[in-house]
Structure 1
C-alpha cells in the first residue's frame, strides 16, 4: 500500500520565509562556538513573510549584537543573505551564507586566540 500526503489548503495564509536544516545548522554551529568562547548568551529566531532572522545577544533583554537575515526577494540583486550589526548597519551581504558569516568567524578566532 502506497501512502500519499495531501496538504490541507489554508485560506488567507501567506508564505513564510524560514531557514532550511543546513542553513540553521551552520548558524547554530557558529552560535555554539561563540557561546563556548563566552561572548554570546542568547538568541532569537524571527520568521516572517519577507525575511527569516537569527539574532544573537551578548546578554538577554538587549538589542542583538548581530542579525543574520535571509530575504529571498533580494536573491537576484545583492544576495538574499545579510549580516547586520547592533546599530542596523549591513556589515556583509551576499548570495551564500558562508561568506556572510565570515566576519563573525574571524572575530571568533580573535576571541579564542586572545
Structure 2
C-alpha cells in the first residue's frame, strides 16, 4: 500500500551551511574586495561537518583566504576560522566579524593606496 519514511533521528543536520546574516557579512566583504580589484572569484562548499567560503585572486589559483564554519569546535577554538593561502590559521573565534577583522584591515590599506 503506502510506504512510511521514518523521520530523521536527532543526530544533527545533514550538512553545515551558512546562515543568512553570516553569508551576507561574507558576501559584503567579498563585494568590497572585488570593487577594490583584489578578488575575482569565490567558491562555496558545504559538507556534513564544515561550510567553507574561499576567495580567489584568479580562478586558476589556490584560494587567497578560506573562511570555515565548524560547529563541532564551538566549545574549543570557536566556530569560525580564517585560513591564509598557504593553509595557516590566521584567526579563530566565536564571532564572524572578529574573525574577518584581518581582511577588513587589508581592505582599508587597499582602498587607501
Q: Structure 2 length as normaliser, TM-score?
A: 0.89
Is 1:102 paired with 2:92? no
Q: In the TM superposition, what is the alpha-carbon distance from 1:9 to its structure 2 partner?
A: 4.6
Distance 1:89 1:49 in 2: 23
Distance 1:32 1:101 in 2: 14
Is 1:16 paired with 2:15? yes
RMSD over equivalenced CA pairs, Å: 1.5
> Where do 4+ consecutive residues of structure 1 move more than 3 Å?
none
Unmatched 5+ stretches in structure 1: 1-7
Is 1:72 paired with 2:71? yes
1:54-69 matches, within 5 Å, as 54-69=53-68
Unmatched 5+ stretches in structure 2: 1-5
Find the residue that maps to 1:110 and give its secondary structure: helix
- Residue number in structure 2 paired with 1:29: 28
Q: In the TM superposition, what is the alpha-carbon distance from 1:62 to its structure 2 partner?
A: 1.0
Superposed CA deviations along residues 57-83 of structure 1, whole A, max 9, x for unmatched, are 000121000000000000011101000
Q: Structure 1 length as normaliser, TM-score?
A: 0.88
Q: In the TM superposition, what is the alpha-carbon distance from 1:20 to its structure 2 partner?
A: 0.5
- Residue number in structure 1 paired with 2:40: 41
How many residue pairs match? The answer is 105
